[in-house]
Amino acid sequence: MLMQCLTGGIVILRNKFFIILYRGKDFLPSNVANRVLDRERELKVCQYQEEGARWKALKSFSVTDQTYLNTNTSGTFSEFHDIQVKYGFLNIENRETDVPLLAEKEKLEKELRNQEHKLFILNRKIEKSAKELYKLNSAWRPEEVSTDQELITEEERQCFRKVGLKMAKVLVLGRRGVFDGVIGSVHQHWKHREVVKVVTMRKVFSQVIDTASLLEIESGGILIAVEKLRKGHAIILYRGKNYRRPLKLLPGNLLTKKKAFNRSLEMQRIGEKIMRHQDPVHSPETQFCYAYKISPSWMTKLGLIPKKGNGFVP
């Protein structure tokens, strides 16, 4: 107990071998504690001196209203002390509620800055891809539409349609779309048979029709039908009775295989929706329609009207 009184600590354990003392949470070294006490004394002395000087100044004036001198405490230390005692807890509560709000605000501002930075980078990439895609689309031009097109009867069309649907050897269109190698493969198929069956995996039916029309114009054949398969669509083309094998199988007006692949990559980077919003001519299958200003009446005249059901027969 003597050591506890001398040190000011708390006895935690005591036995015949040793004594454990805890200094406490409010422990301060003696020199620091003395300085704190001295500082508090100085502040109190200053406050008392200030209060005494104020009362001396008030007494020097001849004021008739004694109630004013007795009741007015505005600007005094006692008023400040009363306000701190009365409303001090409000500041603590406001601080406790303001800290989460400020943290959430800072978090949202940081997230907004990150999203703006990502949007800036995305716009730069879209602009770069759009420039590359514009160069690739400018590198090809559609073939001129033949005015003297061969006509076939409805019986012949149905016959070629059945033959095309039963064909096992097909030509599959990939992500590159229609390029010079596809037209060359069509002519290779026509070397041994009259009908060629082209399978495309496009899901939008209007794009399938555009692909079929572009194949018909570039190859010089006759579009027989567009049929819905379990996976994709089948485009059946007839070479015609007056078919002549061209000297150059690969046309020079279309993109090469490498350029067509690069074009598909750029379209994938930009996105199909963005391309449709910025430029309606977003694929080579539809560019020839815009180049020749094909109207619905012209499509009706040629017989390119969708048939009721799964298939399309021009």
Give the pLDDT of residue 88. Answer: 61
Give the pLDDT of residue 302. Answer: 41
Q: Do residues 22 and 9 make contact, with C-beta atoms less than 8 angstroms apart?
A: yes
User: Of 183, 188, 193, 187, which Cα lies nearest the Cα of 163?
Assistant: 193
Compute the chain's Rg from CA coordinates.
46
| Distance between CA atoms of residues 162 and 145, nearest Å | 27
What the block records as the tokens of 312 is 């399309």
| Distance between CA atoms of residues 166 and 188, nearest Å | 19
Q: How far is CA 48 from CA 3, 55, 300, in A?
A: 39, 11, 105
- Tell me if residue 47 falls in helix, strand or coil: helix
- Tell me if residue 29 falls in helix, strand or coil: coil
Q: Which superfamily does CATH assign the domain made up of 154-302 to? A: YhbY-like (3.30.110.60)
Q: Do residues 142 and 286 make contact, with C-beta atoms less than 8 angstroms apart?
A: no
Q: Kindly list the domain boundaries of the chain, sorted by start residue.
A: 2-54, 77-138, 154-302
Q: Degrees (nearest 5) of the Cα angle 186, 136, 219? A: 20
Query: Exposed/middle/buried for 283, CB within 10 Å: 0-12, 13-18, 19+?
Result: buried
- Tell me if residue 260 falls in helix, strand or coil: helix
Give the pLDDT of residue 298. Answer: 40
**Phi and psi torsions of 305, nearest 5°:** -120, 130
Give the pLDDT of residue 277. Answer: 42
Instruction: Compute the CA torsion angle 253, 259, 264, 266 (nearest 10 deg).
Output: -120
- Give me the average pLDDT of each 10-residue run along the chain (314 residues): 71 79 77 88 90 83 52 70 67 62 85 89 83 80 71 89 90 87 90 91 88 88 90 90 85 84 82 49 47 43 42 52
Angle between helix 205-219 and 284-292 (nearest 10): 70
Point out which residues pair with 11 in neighbouring strands.
21
| Distance between CA atoms of residues 291 and 268, nearest Å | 24
Instruction: Compute the CA torsion angle 272, 277, 281, 282 (nearest 10 deg).
Output: -10
